[in-house]
């Protein structure tokens, strides 16, 4: 179940690439075969009109050459398809490892006695393997998270260092990395190429990114004072988007009438250089939509649910903070503020002194100042002279009244 909930992008991204490779292969095959058909038709015509040996062998050569090209291209593209099918396979195998580990854990009966040192070797190894897998998972999720935030260099270092490159989407996001770099330098070229490359898919998801790019190019031409070129640009590219973007087109055309330092909205913000940043974020989001992966990284989702699972009102109460509790850490508690608390309908009480659970074997006792400790802790907080010292407030009582507490 854990796997079902968090590994969707791990598989879906290479699948989308596989699917795309399939389409390109099909396109290549169709194109090459139609070229071949043309060559063959030429040959057939030659046979009908001037079937000289010289002419025919020349035409035959043409056909054979096309066949050779086809053969090479077909092999290349199908290999490519297989490559990504194998990427999927590899990831499935990695995910499977965890299931096998946990399965062997549940089989081993010693698992229940975690306190016991006498773990069977097998279960110890299984625990270690499961922990290792979790460690890799954390690194994998962090790499994906970095990719989304555009921290490509760090993602690269982490993936290489922990040897998990091929089970992350780092290589697949290489293209988007290039595009982003280009956009960050206020260039549209690579992003336009990306749009062309993914045209049919982008149309399917109703993306307006290409229009936004063309619009930005138009704005940049005006900024450079090339208003005439801007008009030419508009004539060339805008008509294709007339249907959906008429309003935006009108706004853009109106820009021609304004100086670039205009104070008038919406034109002022259209000239704003910040639009490039928006464009970059926009591209990133469209790219996720293309791969059909959620806009939030799995890491950020799991961090949210994890914080909630651990968050208690005690994390925000000065006298019950626990240094070991992740949610009590200042940075995390700030993130946690808006998240729900964990649910707990049954008391889970631990003695603050011995860290042992409070129950019938370690009855909760209340000190005169209201602090509760376990029965087993009483002797530990009693000094040689028989005085009881509160471990939290350092109050000292000789022969205090320590009463039982009943928790239902």
Partner 1 sequence: MEAIEKVSTEVEKVITKFTAINEHSSKLIQNEINALEAIKTALQEQSSESEMLTPQQINLVKSTIARSKEKLHRLAVDHRDLHGTVSKVGKAIDRNFIMEYHQVVRQDLFKNEANIKLLDENIAQHFYRQGMNDVADSLVREANLKQEQINEDPFAELHKIFEDIHHRNLTTALAWTEKYSKELEAKNSTLEFKLHRLAFMQILKGGINSQNEAIAYARSNLSKFVVKFQKDFQVLMGCLLYLKVGLETSPYNYLLSDEMWIECADTFLKDSCNLLGINKESALSTILNAGCIALPALLNLKQVMMSRQVSAIWNELPIEIDVERYHSIFACPILRQQSTDENPPMRLKCGHVISKDALNKLSSASIMNNNHYRSSLKCPYCPSEMVANDAKQIYF
CB of 289 to partner 1, least distance (A): 12
What is the C-alpha to C-alpha distance for residues 144 and 349, in angstroms, rounded to an integer? 38
Output the CA torsion 310→312→314→316 (10° steps). Answer: 90
Cβ proximity to partner 1, 161 vs 268, nearer residue: 161
Is 172 within 8 Å of 84 (Cβ atoms)?
A: no
307 contacts 335 by C-beta, under 8 angstroms: yes
- Does residue 260 have a cis peptide bond before it, meaning omega lies within 30 degrees of 0? no
Which DSSP letter does residue 342 get? P
SS3 assignment, position 387: strand
- Nearer Cβ to partner 1 (57/361): 57
Q: How far is the CB of 64 from partner 1 (least distance, A)?
A: 5
Q: Which two tokens stand for residue 223?
A: 């900024």
Residue closer to partner 1 by CB (options 270, 332) is 332
- CB nearer partner 1, residue 253 or residue 349: 349
Q: The tokens of 338 are what? A: 């808006």
What's the rounded Cα separation, in Å, for the pair 315 and 321? 5
Instruction: Give least dist CB 19 to partner 1, A.
Output: 6
Q: Shortest distance, CB of residue 252 to partner 1, whole angstroms?
A: 28
Closest CB to partner 1 among residues 48, 263: 48
Neighbours of 121 (CB within 10 A): 7
How many C-beta atoms lie closer than 10 Å to residue 217's C-beta? 17
The distance of closest approach from Cβ of residue 294 to partner 1 in the complex, given in angstroms and rounded to an integer, is: 6
The least CB distance from residue 57 to partner 1, in Å, is 5
Q: Closest by alpha carbon to 397, among 370, 376, 357?
A: 370
Greatest Cα pair distance, the chain, in angstroms, is 124
Query: Which of residues 67 and 175 has its CB atom nearest to partner 1 in the complex?
Result: 67
Cα–Cα distance between 293 and 42 in angstroms, integer?
Answer: 48
Q: Which is nearer to partner 1, 231 or 303 (CB)?
A: 303
CB 327 → partner 1: shortest distance, Å? 8
> Between residues 137 and 233, which has the closer beta carbon with respect to partner 1?
137
Least distance from partner 1 to the Cβ atom of residue 345, Å: 5
* Nearer to partner 1 (CB atom), residue 225 or residue 313: 313
Task: Determine the Cα–Cα distance for residues 352 and 178; give it in Å rounded to an integer.
Answer: 55
Token pair recorded at residue 353: 């002194």
Least CB distance to partner 1 at residue 1 (A)? 4
How many CA atoms are closer than 13 Å to the CA of 268, on its beta-carbon side?
Answer: 5
Beta bridge partners of 385: none
């Amino acid at each position: 179940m854990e796997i079902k909930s968090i590994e969707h992008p791990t598989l879906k991204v290479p699948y989308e690439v596989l699917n795309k490779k399939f389409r390109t292969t099909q396109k290549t095959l169709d194109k090459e075969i139609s070229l071949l058909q043309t060559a063959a038709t030429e040959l057939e015509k030659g046979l009908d009109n001037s079937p000289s040996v010289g002419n025919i062998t020349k035409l035959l050569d043409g056909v054979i050459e096309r066949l050779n090209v086809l053969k090479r291209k077909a092999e290349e593209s199908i290999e490519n398809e297989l490559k990504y099918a194998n990427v999927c396979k590899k990831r499935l195998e990695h995910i499977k490892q965890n299931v096998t580990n946990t399965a062997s854990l549940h089989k081993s009966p010693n698992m229940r006695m975690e306190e016991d040192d006498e773990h069977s070797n097998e279960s110890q190894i299984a625990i270690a393997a499961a922990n290792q897998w979790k460690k890799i998972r954390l690194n994998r999720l962090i790499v994906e998270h970095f990719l989304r935030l555009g921290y490509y260099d760090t993602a690269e270092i982490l993936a290489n260092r922990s040897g998990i490159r091929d089970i992350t989407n780092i290589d697949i996001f290489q293209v988007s990395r290039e595009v982003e770099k280009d956009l960050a330098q206020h260039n549209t070229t690579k992003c336009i190429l990306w749009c062309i490359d993914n045209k049919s898919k982008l149309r399917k998801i109703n993306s307006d990114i290409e229009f936004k790019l063309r619009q930005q190019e138009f704005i940049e031409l005006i900024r450079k004072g090339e208003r005439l070129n801007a008009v030419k640009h508009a004539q060339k590219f805008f008509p294709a988007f007339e249907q959906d973007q008429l309003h935006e087109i009108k706004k853009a055309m109106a820009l021609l009438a304004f100086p670039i330092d205009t104070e008038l909205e919406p034109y002022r913000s259209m000239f704003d250089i910040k639009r490039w940043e928006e464009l970059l974020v926009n591209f990133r989001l469209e790219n996720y939509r293309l791969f059909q992966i959620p806009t939030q990284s799995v890491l950020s989702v799991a961090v949210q649910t994890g914080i909630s699972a651990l968050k208690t009102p005690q994390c925000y109460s000065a006298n019950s903070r626990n240094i070991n509790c992740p949610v009590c850490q200042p940075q995390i508690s700030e993130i946690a503020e808006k998240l729900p608390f964990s649910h707990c309908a049954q008391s889970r009480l631990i003695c603050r002194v011995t860290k042992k659970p409070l129950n019938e074997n370690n009855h909760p006792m209340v000190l005169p100042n209201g602090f509760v400790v376990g029965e087993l802790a009483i002797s530990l907080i009693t000094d040689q002279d028989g005085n009881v010292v509160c471990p939290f407030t350092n109050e000292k009582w000789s022969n205090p009244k320590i009463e039982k507490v009943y928790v239902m």
